[in-house]
Amino acid sequence: MSEASLKKSVVKRKKPDFVRPESWRYVRIKPNWRRPKGIDHKVRKEYKGWPARVKIGYGSPKEIRGLHPSGFKEVLIHNVQELLKLDPKTEAARIAHTVGTKKRIEIFEKAKELGIHVLNPVRLRRNES
């Protein structure tokens, strides 16, 4: 595990899940975060026992923000030429979903040859007989 991913896992551990207040109470309210705006809202007033509000202090450090949990920066790959531009030390490939099986296998083999980490490796189906 790289140093960046180790830092990220430590930072992630401290963060609460930010859900929309009272989304657990009503089916019609989705859990996606919305800022509380009511004059008597318990979360807006930060009462004890209510969920935490989203604040800037919960942000990840700039150098690890947006990285994959493996510590690599994700790069979307559509063909072998794009794969050749990657830095195997800092970047990992994610094969686009629009790529077919034949080209996917070709990209995966080339990535293995170059020592590039593939985040969604090829999974072939067995012939059922």
Cβ–Cβ < 8 Å for 69, 9: yes
Express each pLDDT in 11-70 by its tens digit: 566 788 899 999 999 999 999 999 999 999 999 999 999 999 999 988 888 888 888 888
Burial class (CB in 10 A: 0-12, 13-18, 19+), 35: exposed
List pLDDT tens digits, range 55-113.
Answer: 998 888 888 888 888 889 999 999 999 999 999 999 999 999 999 999 999 999 999 99
Q: What is the pTM of this model?
A: 0.67
Classify residue 88 by its DSSP letter.
Answer: T
Strand partners, 6: none
**Which of the pair, 10 or 95, is modelled with greater confidence?**
95
Other beta carbons within 10 Å of 68: 15
Break the chain into its structural domains and give their ranges.
73-114
